[in-house]
Amino acid sequence: MFSFPHPLYSIVDTLSDPKLSYVGLAQAMLDAGVRLLQLRVKDQSTGRFVEIARAVKAAADGAQAQLIINDRADIAKLIDAAGVHLGQEDLPVAAAREILGPTRIIGFSTHNVAQAEAASREGIADYIGFGPIYPTTSKQRPDPVQGLDRLRQIRSRVTLPIVAIGGITAKTMPEVLSAGADAVAMISEIVRADDVSTKVRALLELATASQGRAHPIPKG
């Protein structure tokens, strides 16, 4: 069964500041100790996405880290990434599994209890994303805020690993992990930092300490 290498799920995304470099962001995260990261590229051509993905994959390989490609199973296969993360309107999970085979990682975003339970019953995805936990500015049309009580409800019903996302900060990370998330995803909190490596290193330490204090959640 898949498990996150650490309770911080870093996302490489430059939308909040187009002046940032995808490779520079990824390298800063990797230098801080991240061993799994997701590349999220929006509003770029497929050719440009592939170019960026190959460069970030080279950086990840240099750090012996896993790279997850957002949305595009075809690009994940093309560059030999560790896997793909799909949204509700992307390629169906079953189709992505056909493309990527049995050993690649597939994550799947869910935004309510019914979607999370359906993903768990289908038994194809390796982990689910759930959120937004709090209001978020990382999406133009965010889904309704779910909150910690809904996260706890899903944790009690789903055995798949859960990465929580949406408006999470260093201040709220401990309560999100305590509510049952196996990992937390952040974009703005990381990419807007003055020193990304220093920020990520501090978040990794906080997440690991917080997860150690969290109530153990029965699995399966």
**Residue 16: predicted pLDDT:** 64
**Residue 143: predicted pLDDT:** 80
For the chain, the structural domain boundaries read 8-210
Task: Specify the CATH class of 8-210 in words.
Answer: alpha beta
**Residue 161: predicted pLDDT:** 98
β partners of residue 106:
84
Whether the per-residue pLDDT at 184 is higher than 90: the answer is: yes
Catalytic residues, by residue number, are: 40, 109, 139
Three-state DSSP class for residue 202: helix
The band of 213, judged by pLDDT with boundaries at 50, 70 and 90, is low
Residue 17 burial (10 A CB sphere; 0-12, 13-18, 19+): exposed
